[in-house]
């Protein structure tokens, strides 16, 4: 994938660019808003990572400008600003996701992955399937093999989100934001408890586990390849 | 319902009092003048009558009854305002221009007021007269009077018009007062409306100025200058938090990046890898503490007031209870939610959720297995109370105020994880929402209550 990184902190930029390249992406970088804008408008990208505060042209303005030109490339904002309503401002300006510094690189990768996949949605599905686990979005029922699985509404949403991002790392923060719509960091690891309950329902008693813990990152649902 | 609010204004009440005093003093003044004039005119009439009687009685003494009769006949035919009647001792008329002795009773000083009929064109007209009777020697009775009908009519006119005049004065005064207070009310209304908007978080709003340059404009101008100062201070606060955030997060970001970079190139099973992993964990704790501090600072500065929206408290409580349900269950603590209807307030949903999460998290953390945590939203007389009650060890009364301070952790909890900022954040969120945060004894355990008072203009009353 082709990614544009606009970041004025050169060390952070180098780290970001190296990490993305290691993950197999093609990366262009820009150190200020003006160069960022020129690049964004002249080359096609699959996604852009833009710092909120940039010299010459502010990150928010940069995204607004890109959007005015009809460019819909997914944008992930990075911000070192305090967060209470900056997230809202970032999303209003046309950003697709918002990550506060300092962030874990796996978190950034997972979010970027989700953003780029959202850009090319498969045909509208009413049924999700991972291995022998099936989720019917119309009847709101789950089935593994021939066994019906009884899920609470929230568990259903959790499983739905995981299955929509099958074979992708999904971080705890992403789950908290998407499934529960909370943008804060709970002191206790609540998500882990919810996941372990879900795991008990979909994996317990079956031969091949589908819901995996990705160490230091989050979770992933995947059928054995 | 415009009129009642106009009637309740200070301006209208002032006008009302003023008009009443004015009307009373005007009536008093006019009445006094009238009474005085009346007295002076009466005295004048009486003097004339007295003089005439003196003259006539002199004539009588000089010329006898026949002479007096002549004089009276002479004066009677002159017409004019003088009225005369001379009778014998049985009040039979002898001379004069009245045909009979009036019925009216004389006062002690022999003055008499009576009505008589006078030729006027074809018919008669009733007139008022004032006169004096005088007994002459030989039993003759003399009545000398003057027609005071002109004055009587004026007096009548005066007494009938006076109430109307006063009424008109009051009506005009009150109408003027209402107009004046409506005018003032409109100005005050706009000031009040703007103040409420500003309190609701829109610090860029300014009070409207008119071209009049009056006292209200001076007041509005002063308030605007004050608002500008406040806005500048808030912006300054915001800039400071932003730059602290930026200047500390950037190096923290690099630190975490470097540690992650090192970790990536280390074999996960080596002891160094575990050390670096722990260092990443420490960085995350540092970041969490730092974020919590910033959030508290923001909540306290009221920065988050910009993001106030209607918040359905029972929904928030339900959401957090649902989020923590499995955590409680895992620990063997029962988490009970007292159901309630809707209770909306104007607030920052994210911050309220986080504050509530902190309370529930704490309650679960400090409640032993087998205990219970009760979460409730209640509409009380003091406002909407959101409470989290546990039956853990509780907090001694002496320490309850202290635990709300930043970084304060009681000895008993030193060893459990946490930043010591959880309750400080709850307190800051409470202040941001003008809510009362109270810790009380749940006997045994702790009951934390957030009382959203719902200040006027803040609280949304559900409609329909």
pLDDT at A75: 93
CB pairs under 8 A between A and B: 106
Per-residue pLDDT at A18 exceeds 80: yes
Residues of chain A with Cβ-Cβ distance to B291 below 8 Å are 83, 100, 185
Residue where a domain stops, chosen among A119, A136, A152: A119
Residues of chain B with Cβ-Cβ distance to A11 below 8 Å are 254, 257
Q: pLDDT 10s per residue in chain B (464 long)? A: 445 566 677 777 887 888 888 888 888 888 898 889 888 988 888 888 888 888 888 888 888 888 888 888 888 887 778 888 888 888 888 888 888 888 777 777 778 888 888 877 777 888 888 888 888 888 888 888 888 888 888 888 888 888 888 888 888 888 888 888 888 788 888 888 888 877 766 777 888 888 877 888 888 888 889 888 888 887 777 777 777 777 787 888 888 888 888 887 777 778 888 888 888 888 888 887 787 777 787 777 666 566 678 888 888 999 899 999 999 998 899 898 887 777 888 888 888 998 999 999 989 988 888 889 999 988 888 888 899 998 887 777 777 777 776 666 665 554 555 566 788 888 888 888 888 888 888 878 888 899 987 543 344 444 33
Maximum separation of any 2 CA atoms in chain A, in Å: 60
Torsion of CA B323, B326, B331, B335, to 10 degrees: 70
Give the integer Cα–Cα distance in Å for B365 and B313.
Answer: 23
Residue among A196, A225, A208 nearest A133 (CA): A208
A9 touches chain B (CB under 8 A): yes
Q: How far is A120 from chain B (nearest CA, A)?
A: 30
Give the integer Cα–Cα distance in Å for B436 and B463.
Answer: 25
Domain, as residue range, for B125: 2-158
Residue of B nearest to A7 (CA): B250
Decide if B307 and A81 are in contact by the 8 Å CB cutoff: no
Q: Are A214 and A175 in contact (CB under 8 A)?
A: no
| Per-residue exposure over B152-179, b if at least 16 CB sit within 10 Å of its own CB, e if not | beebeeeeeeeeeeeeeeeeebbeebbe
In the DSSP assignment, the letter for residue A197 is H
Residue among B348, B344, B353 nearest B319 (CA): B353
Decide if B287 and A102 are in contact by the 8 Å CB cutoff: yes
- A89-98 pLDDT, tens digit per residue, is 888 888 888 8
Residue of A nearest to B243 (CA): A81
Q: Are B408 and B460 in contact (CB under 8 A)?
A: no
Strands A75-79 and A47-51 come out as: parallel
Residue of B nearest to A105 (CA): B257
Tokens coding B455:
């200040």
What CATH number does the domain containing B406 carry?
Answer: 3.30.565.10
Look-up: residue for tokens 């974020």?
Answer: B291
Of B246, B327, B350, the CB nearest to A184: B350
Whether residue A114 is found in the same domain as residue A6: yes
Give the integer Cα–Cα distance in Å for A12 and A18.
Answer: 10
Residue where a domain stops, chosen among B158, B176, B196: B158
Taking only residues 123 to 162 of chain A, the set having a beta carbon closer than 8 angstroms to any beta carbon of chain B reads 154
DSSP B393-450: S---GGGTTGGGSTT---GGGTTS---S-HHHHHHHHHHHTTEEEEEEE-SSSEEEEE
Per-residue pLDDT at A126 exceeds 60: yes
Domain, as residue range, for A213: 127-221
Q: Are B283 and B252 in contact (CB under 8 A)?
A: yes
Give the integer Cα–Cα distance in Å for B175 and B188.
Answer: 19
Decide if B252 and A12 are in contact by the 8 Å CB cutoff: no
Q: How far is B14 from chain A (nearest CA, A)?
A: 48
pLDDT at B462: 43
Tokens coding A44:
């096609």
Q: How far is A79 from chain B (nearest CA, A)?
A: 8
Whether residue B247 is found in the same domain as residue B323: no
Of B241, B327, B353, the CB nearest to A188: B327
Whether residue A70 is found in the same domain as residue A138: no
What CATH number does the domain containing B274 carry?
Answer: 1.10.287
Give the integer Cα–Cα distance in Å for A128 and A118.
Answer: 16
B315 touches chain A (CB under 8 A): no
What CATH number does the domain containing A86 carry?
Answer: 3.40.50.2300
Q: How far is B417 from chain A (nearest CA, A)?
A: 9
Give the integer Cα–Cα distance in Å for B64 and B69.
Answer: 9
| Per-residue exposure over B340-359, b if at least 16 CB sit within 10 Å of its own CB, e if not | beebbbbbbbbbbbbbbbbb
Domain count, chain B: 3
Whether residue B113 is found in the same domain as residue B240: no
Residue B363 Cα distances to A177, A189, B366, B388, B445, angstroms: 23, 15, 5, 7, 9
Instruction: Report yes or no on B389 lying in a domain.
Output: yes
pLDDT at B58: 87
Residues of chain B with Cβ-Cβ distance to A53 below 8 Å are 246
Strands A75-79 and A97-100 come out as: parallel
B326 touches chain A (CB under 8 A): yes
**Helix residue ranges per DSSP H, A23-124:** 33-42, 59-68, 86-92, 105-119
Domain count, chain A: 2
Residue of B nearest to A198 (CA): B326
Count other C-beta atoms under 10 Å from residue B78's C-beta: 9
- A139-161 pLDDT, tens digit per residue, is 889 988 888 989 988 899 999 99
Work out the mean pLDDT of chain A and round it to a whole number. 86
**Global confidence as pTM:** 0.62
Tokens coding B450:
């957030």
Whether residue B146 is found in the same domain as residue B12: yes
Note the residue count of chain B: 464
Instruction: Report yes or no on B261 lying in a domain.
Output: yes
């Amino acid at each position: 994938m082709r990614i544009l990184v606009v970041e004025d902190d050169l060390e952070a930029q180098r780290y970001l660019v190296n990490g993305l390249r290691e993950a197999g992406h093609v990366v262009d970088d820009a150190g200020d808003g003006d160069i960022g804008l020129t690049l964004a408008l002249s080359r096609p990208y699959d996604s852009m990572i833009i710092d909120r505060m940039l010299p010459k042209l502010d990150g928010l303005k940069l995204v607004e400008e890109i959007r005015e030109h009809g460019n819909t490339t997914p944008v992930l904002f990075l911000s070192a600003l305090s967060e209470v309503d900056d997230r809202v401002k970032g999303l209003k300006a046309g950003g697709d996701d918002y990550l506060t510094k300092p962030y874990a690189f796996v978190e950034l990768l997972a979010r970027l992955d989700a953003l780029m996949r959202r850009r090319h949605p498969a045909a509208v599905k009413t049924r999700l399937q991972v291995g022998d686990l099936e989720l019917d979005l119309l009847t709101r029922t789950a089935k593994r093999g021939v066994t019906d699985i009884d899920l609470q509404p929230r568990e259903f949403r959790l499983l739905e989100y995981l299955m929509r991002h099958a074979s992708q790392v999904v971080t705890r923060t992403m789950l908290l934001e998407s499934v529960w719509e909370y943008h804060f960091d709970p002191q206790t690891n609540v998500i882990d408890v919810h996941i372990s309950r879900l795991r008990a329902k979909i994996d317990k008693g079956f031969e091949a586990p589908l819901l995996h813990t990705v160490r230091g990152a989050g979770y992933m649902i995947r059928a054995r390849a | 319902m415009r009129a009642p609010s106009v009637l309740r204004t200070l301006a209208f009440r002032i006008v009302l009092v003023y008009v009443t005093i004015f009307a009373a003093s005007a009536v008093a003044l006019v009445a006094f003048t009238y009474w005085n004039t009346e007295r002076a005119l009466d005295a004048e009439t009486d003097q004339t009558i007295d003089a005439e009687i003196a003259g006539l009685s002199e004539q009588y003494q000089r010329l006898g009854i026949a002479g007096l009769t002549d004089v009276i006949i002479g004066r009677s035919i002159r017409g004019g305002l003088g009225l005369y009647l001379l009778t014998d001792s049985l009040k039979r008329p002898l001379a004069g221009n009245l045909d009979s002795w009036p019925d009216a009773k004389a006062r002690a000083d022999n003055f008499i007021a009576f009505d008589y009929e006078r030729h006027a064109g074809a018919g008669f007209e009733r007139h008022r007269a004032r006169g004096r009777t005088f007994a002459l020697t030989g039993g003759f009775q003399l009545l000398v009077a003057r027609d005071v009908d002109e004055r009587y009519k004026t007096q009548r006119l005066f007494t009938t018009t006076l109430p109307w005049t006063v009424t008109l004065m009051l009506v005009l005064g009150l109408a003027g007062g209402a107009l004046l207070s409506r005018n003032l009310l409109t100005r005050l209304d706009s000031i009040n409306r703007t103040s409420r908007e500003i309190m609701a978080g829109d610090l860029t709003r300014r009070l409207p100025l008119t071209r009049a340059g009056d006292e209200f404009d001076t007041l509005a101008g002063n308030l605007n200058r004050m608002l500008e100062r406040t806005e500048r201070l808030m912006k300054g606060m915001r800039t400071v938090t932003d730059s602290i955030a930026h200047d500390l997060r950037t190096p923290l970001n690099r630190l975490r990046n470097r540690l992650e970079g090192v970790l990536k190139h280390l074999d996960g099973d080596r002891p160094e890898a575990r050390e670096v992993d722990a260092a990443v964990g420490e960085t995350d704790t540092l970041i969490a503490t730092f974020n919590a501090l910033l959030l508290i600072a923001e909540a306290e500065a009221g920065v988050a007031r910009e993001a106030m929206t209607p918040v359905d408290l029972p929904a928030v409580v339900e959401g957090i209870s649902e989020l923590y349900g499995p955590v409680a269950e895992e620990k063997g603590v029962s988490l009970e939610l007292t159901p309630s209807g809707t209770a909306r307030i104007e607030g920052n949903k994210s911050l309220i959720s986080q504050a509530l999460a902190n309370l529930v998290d704490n309650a679960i953390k400090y409640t032993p297995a087998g205990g219970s945590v009760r979460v409730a939203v209640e509409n009380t007389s003091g406002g909407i109370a959101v409470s989290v009650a546990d039956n853990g060890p509780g907090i001694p009364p002496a320490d309850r105020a202290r635990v709300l301070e930043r970084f304060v952790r009681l000895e008993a909890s030193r060893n459990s994880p946490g930043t010591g900022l959880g309750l400080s954040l709850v307190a800051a969120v409470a202040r941001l929402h003008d809510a009362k945060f109270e810790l009380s004894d749940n006997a045994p355990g702790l009951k934390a209550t957030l009382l959203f008072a719902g200040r006027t203009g803040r609280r949304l009353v559900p409609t329909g």
